[in-house]
Structure 1
Amino acid sequence: MVKIFIDPGHGGSDAGASGNGLIEKNLTLQIALALRNLLLDEYQNVSVQLSRTSDQTVSLTQRTNAANNWGADFYLSIHINAGGGTGFESYIYPGVGAPTTTYRDRIHEEIIKAVDFRDRGKKTADFHVLRETVMPALLTENGFVDNADDADKLKSSAFIQSIVRGHANGLARAFNLTKKAAALYKVQIGAFKENANADNLATQAEAKGFDAIVIYRESLYKVQIGAFSSKENAEALVQQAKSAGFEAFIYQE
């Protein structure tokens, strides 16, 4: 069992970076929750724990202590940048060697493959979450909220899902994760030719407590709110969505 600790940066009273109508703490949580769900839904023998699952204040020490006490195999801290730049970059602690460097290289490469971001490179820094973790640790900076082009991308649910997929692909490659053989029961609430319409429905679903993502497939932008190996769990989510006013149904892949 591979134990992945995911740390959505900032939260609560610590908003992180902001710009162009975006707040870092919200984006990092959105990415982390979607990444957790994707890993658990699609891969075998992986366990995931988050430093926070809502907009709450969690100190840096609390984050690293939680990962250390849990005995995580890997610590992934997710952030959004600011300061006038553009693109994606990743950080590890200075002077560390394999396996941290190997994990970093594979995850960085897969994220760059998945997203339309400039590659700012693989870097080192004396960050608390990299220094105080006893397991290999990586911090990713996923675009700049104060850059108009990056911000426009980060406002798209489909682009956020690309970030999530890149992280998942990197983790799967780094830890040789095996995909589940069984088809997933996915819950969809809409499909559109225009991305803006899908993003609007996803926003409505998120406002009502659903983890909505937009996936571009078969020439349509599809709004998905869950994926399960159990049909019973998918059916329960369909009923919740219908009760909330959405037209929901199950499809398999």
Structure 2
Amino acid sequence: MVKIMLDAGHGGKDSGAVGNGLKEKDLTLAIVKHIGRLLAEYEGVEVHYTRTDDRFLELSERAAIANKTKADFFLSVHINAGGGTGFESYVHPNANSATIAYQNVIHAEIMKAIGNVTDRGKKRANYAVLRETHMPALLTENLFIDNKNDAAKLDSEQSLLQVAYGHVQGIVKAFGLKKKAKPQPEPQQKSSDGKLYRVQVGAFTDPDNAKRLADELKKKGYPATIV
């Protein structure tokens, strides 16, 4: 079982970067929730969050939550600002080889998913959440909130889903996750000659009569539903 800790940057009194009518804290939470929902489609993964609503957490609290959970991987999602454009990712300057390998894979998948944006590169920084976590940790900066073109993408639910999808595909590749098998539909009853027959038995004004007939058919081994 792989434990993934998802960290939506900022929150509560800390709005993060602001621009073009958008707030970083709202965007990061939306992206993280998409990531968690998509990861739930895979086997052998346990998803945890530092926050799932609009609350303030100190940077040290975020790292402490991940450490207490004994997460296998920490992912902190952010939106950039400062007049640039594009995507970049960060690991700690003392990151081990596993962390760097994860960064390489996840960074590439995010760039592939969001497409047609500037790749600002794989970087290193002494950020608290990267420094204080006890497991491989990655921080992503997804487009610039103060750039009109980037902000237009960030203001689109479809684009946020693409950003999330890139993170998920990166995690899937990095940890070798496999999709859960889809539940198989119930087999339909066939006749002795191998052909499939469908019988529709009229409409009832009395719901009790309809239920009685459905129950009777079920007893005889026929699939019966009331619509």
Shorter-chain TM-score bucket reads 0.7 to 0.9
Shift of 1:183: 5.5
Residues 38-187 of structure 1: matches in 2 within 5 Å? 38-40=38-40, 42-116=41-115, 117-182=117-182
Shift of 1:97: 2.6
CA–CA distance in structure 1, aligned partners of residues 160 and 183 of structure 2: 24
Letter aligned with residue 57 of structure 2 = V
CA–CA distance in structure 2, aligned partners of residues 31 and 96 of structure 1: 25
Secondary structure of the residue aligned to 1:58 is: coil
The structure that is strand-richer by fraction is 1
CA–CA distance in structure 2, aligned partners of residues 142 and 127 of structure 1: 16
Shift of 1:98: 1.1
Equivalent residue, structure 2, for 1:7: 7
TM-score by length of 2: 0.79
CA–CA distance in structure 2, aligned partners of residues 173 and 118 of structure 1: 23
Secondary structure of the residue aligned to 1:29 is: helix
| Runs of 5+ consecutive residues of structure 1 not aligned to the other structure | 185-253
Shift of 1:6: 0.4
Letter aligned with residue 70 of structure 2 = G
Shift of 1:18: 0.5
Letter aligned with residue 45 of structure 1 = G
Secondary structure of the residue aligned to 1:4 is: strand
TM-score by length of 1: 0.71
Aligned length in residues: 183
Over the matched positions of the two proteins, sequence identity in percent amounts to 54
Cα RMSD for the two superposed structures: 1.1
Which of the two has higher C-alpha Rg? 2
CA–CA distance in structure 1, aligned partners of residues 53 and 34 of structure 2: 13
1:69-95 deviation line (CA, Å, top 9, x unaligned): 100000000000000100000000003
Distance 1:183 1:142, change over 3 A: farther
Structure 1 stretches (4+) deviating beyond 2 angstroms? Answer: none
CA–CA distance in structure 2, aligned partners of residues 183 and 167 of structure 1: 26
